[in-house]
Amino acid sequence: MTAGDAVSITARQPAAIHSALSMLEAVAAMGAGVTARQLAERLGMPRATTYRLLNLLVQDEYLVRTPDLTGFALGTKVALLAGSIGVERIPRAARDVLERTRASARGGIHLVLYRDDRVVVADEDPDFPLSNRQGLQQEPTRYALGLLPLVVRGETAAGDLVSELRSQGVIRARDGQRGCLVAPITDASGTLAGALSYSGPRRQIDSSDSIALSLIAAARELGPLLT
């Protein structure tokens, strides 16, 4: 690298870098869907500065806009930087299954793998991000994706979930008008290796058997591709 190629840092840049990191921390803490106004208020930042910084972070893929374009969520580059998230490379054939499943679903389709009692987000739906990816990493049993291993092993007091998994092949969770449906992914011996989930309107979780059947079928396809 020559002197002309060296990256120079001006006096103002450290403050801008600090603001960008604070913005990412705020989005992580407040969850997917947080608005520019909410971020400006939390950080005590002028609205114009907030919008400018958000646009830069979206352009560089550190943030993404939510599907309704009203809020923001953490982007792929944050996942690549965060070792605790444990980004996984999955085969092209598995991605094909995910793309096909997403094309027929009106909601988010997410793939996780279970590694040493950790929930690793292997493929998050880019159009419908997880509502609280950080929460799933830190307190997994608050979420259906993190609760599934306990249900499979019968180590939870939620007997209705154990019965539901045995009879229907999935478990469901509801939160207000939203919900989540989770199907297990197993290896050839039947050991739990991961899960495929659908997140969307509660009415779809409660009444649509087609989504559950589609999820179960996709999970069965993914088993031999991922294990």
Average pLDDT over every residue of 164-184 = 91
- Residue 155's pLDDT is 85
Quickly state the pLDDT bin for 76 (edges 50, 70, 90): confident
97-101, 164-168, 198-202 — most confident range:
97-101
* Averaged confidence pLDDT in the chain: 85
Q: Where are the alpha helices (DSSP H) in the chain?
A: 13-30, 36-43, 47-59, 76-81, 92-103, 133-138, 144-153, 159-168, 202-207, 209-226
Quickly state the pLDDT bin for 87 (edges 50, 70, 90): low
Q: Which of 111, 70, 88 is nearest to 197 (CA)?
A: 111
List where CATH 3.30.450.40 sits in the chain. 85-226
Q: Is 17 exposed, middle or buried (0-12, 13-18, 19+ CB in 10 A)?
A: exposed
CATH number of the domain at 13-80, please?
A: 1.10.10.10
Report which of residues 158 and 205 the model is more confident about.
205
The identity of residue 176, as a single letter, is G
- CB contact at 8 A, 142 and 127: no
Quickly state the pLDDT bin for 79 (edges 50, 70, 90): low
Checking if the pLDDT of 7 tops 50, the result is: no
- Residue 80's pLDDT is 65
Query: Which contiguous run of DSSP H or E holds residue 192?
Result: strand 192-201
List where CATH 1.10.10.10 sits in the chain. 13-80
CATH, domain 85-226, list 1.10.357.10, 3.30.450.40, 3.90.1140.10, 1.20.58.1610: 3.30.450.40
Average pLDDT over every residue of 70-94 = 75
* pLDDT per position as a tens digit, 96-143: 999 999 998 888 999 999 988 788 889 999 888 888 887 787 788 889
- Residue 67's pLDDT is 75
Phi/psi at 192 (5° precision)? -65, 130
5-9, 59-63, 130-134 — most confident range:
59-63
- Residue 132's pLDDT is 81
